[in-house]
Amino acid sequence: MSTETSTETKTIAAVLFPGMTPVDLVGPLTALGMLEWLMPQYKVKVVAERMDAYQTDIPLRITPSHTFAQVPSPDVLLVPGGATPAFRAMADETLLDYLRGAAAQAEIITSVCSGSLLLGAAGLLKGREATTHWTVLDLLPEFGATPVRRRWVRDGDLLTAAGASAGIDMALHLVSMLEGDEVARLAQFGAEYDPEPPLGPLDWDAAPHELFAPAAESWVGDGLAGHPELRSRLLARLSAESRGFVEARR
């Protein structure tokens, strides 16, 4: 089946780095893979520094389809996130250089979860609205961005998604941006994406900040152990955020 209307090849590059969260990558690629099937002029590629099997943050390894050098100028860039490894990746100059170079050529730049913080570390969020996982949302201003607490946020050619599963929503919106609502709806049907959480929607007023705050602090502290200046700034912001939630609930 194909609804192809153009022969111009469009490359979507999804970035892989050690320790990333698989659903941040695989969720969006489920929707984008449907786009590739419906319209074969789109080519989805998973890119990394080397053609190795990369360990993720669960017992699963993922091997890229291409290296950074093989896909220097994608039309769409997708950056997943993670916990401690995502903060460690903020000091990976090879990765950050790739993000800068690819973003300079891309028509659309996207991220999932703390992938937006990687974009920030690459200097790509200054003056932009963005979102990320709720536990680290308040870190975005450290990279010049305005945090927005939504499932996904569009600011011009920048699309950022909140945590994990929000990447699917963002990717379907991306498909709509690229080829219209009809194709996006076909992709949604193909992925059978019609979520019904067994416990219903989340009550954000009851978000367990006290439980997750120490985890977020450990992600930053461990991931940026070799970069004391940035580590100190981000930990100070997380500490202020935690105090704010405690005071708000008194």
The verdict on whether 140 is a catalytic residue reads no
In angstroms, rounded to a whole number, what is the distance separating the alpha carbons of residues 13 and 79?
9
Q: How many CA atoms lie within 13 A of 82 on its CB side?
A: 24
Neighbouring CB atoms inside 10 A of 158's CB total 21
Q: Considering 113, 122, 158, 238, which one is annotated as catalytic?
A: 113
Q: 66-84: buried (b, 16+ CB within 10 Å) or exposed (e) per residue? A: bbbeebeebbbbbbbbbbb
CA 245 to chain centre: 25
Which residue numbers are catalytic? 113
